[in-house]
Structure 1
Amino acid sequence: MRGEEPSPWQRTGLWAGMAMEALGEAGLHFDELNKLRVLDPEVAQNTTELKEECKDFVEKIGQFQKIVGGLIEIVDQLAKEAENEKMKAIGARNLLKSVAKQREAQQQQLQALIAEKKMQLERYRIEYDALSKVEAEQNEFIDQFILQK
């Protein structure tokens, strides 16, 4: 068989191999469906896999963004509620301060009124003592006047 000439089928296979090699050098390849492609089938497969991985990655990023968006909404809502509670607390504190100041002012007014009433009472006592003295003097005068008659 060594000296024999290759059969037409073998020559066709040889020619096809050389043609495939020439096409490969030119950057052209046949895929599994024997379609002529510009990319090597392995590179095309890797590209397809990368495309799918990118698609999955983009979907996961979208889901992540939705989750983060939800968290941001929750945090914003909590921040608003905290701010509202803070404002309520500030309002309550200011109200307590105001009530305390009003009580202090009212207490001062009442103390001033008590002092005024004490002074008035002292004046009335002095006036009472003076009038009692005048009454006693007048009663004594009347008694002396009656005794002299």
Structure 2
Amino acid sequence: MAKDPLAEAGLHFDELNKLRVLEPDVSQKTTELKEECEEFVDKIGQFQKIVGGLIELVDELAKEAETEKMKAIGARNLLKSVEKQREAQHQQLQALIAEKKMQLERYRIEYEALQKVEAEQSEFIDQFILQK
């Protein structure tokens, strides 16, 4: 079997009988690898677009969650404020009730004293009328 002198020199003919430096199967594998790389780059680009969209969606959801969180904190603070106001109002009303009870007790004592005076005066009048 005779060796091809061009093949020994690293030169080969392709299917179109053009002189090539690479062997035909290496050239074909290189072309296939190039095509696979291009497909891979396209898929990576699509993946990046999908991931970018997902990141935007997650960021938007995070902003919405933060907004709702702030609303909830505001509502909780408002509720605490209202609760404190009601407690203060309750204490004021309790103080007013205590004051009114004391006033009622004073009026009751005064009323009893006036009833006693009235009874004494009625008795005095009755005795005065009986003496005449």
1:38 aligns with 2:21: yes
- The amino acid across from 1:87 in the alignment is M
Equivalent residues, number: 131
Q: CA deviation at 1:142?
A: 5.6
Tell me the equivalent position of 1:7.
none
Tell me the equivalent position of 1:53.
36
Q: CA deviation at 1:33?
A: 2.0
Q: Which moved more, 1:51-60 or 1:29-38?
A: 29-38
Tell me the equivalent position of 1:123.
106
Larger Rg: 1
CA distance in 2, matches of 1:102, 1:29: 96
Q: CA deviation at 1:114?
A: 0.5
Q: CA deviation at 1:45?
A: 1.0
- Gaps in structure 1 of 5+ consecutive residues: 1-16
Find the partner of 2:63 among 80, 83, 94: 80
CA distance in 1, matches of 2:9, 2:117: 144
Tell me the equivalent position of 2:117.
134
If asked which structure has higher relative contact order (CA below 8 Å, sep 6+), I would say 2
Report sequence identity in percent: 85
CA distance in 2, matches of 1:56, 1:138: 120
- RMSD over aligned Cα atoms: 2.2
TM-score calculated relative to the size of structure 1: 0.75
TM-score calculated relative to the size of structure 2: 0.83
Could you list the per-position Cα deviations for residues 11-58 of structure 1 after superposition, in whole angstroms to 9, with x for gaps in the alignment? xxxxxx76xx22211211122222221111111111011000100010
Find the partner of 1:110 among 74, 93, 116: 93
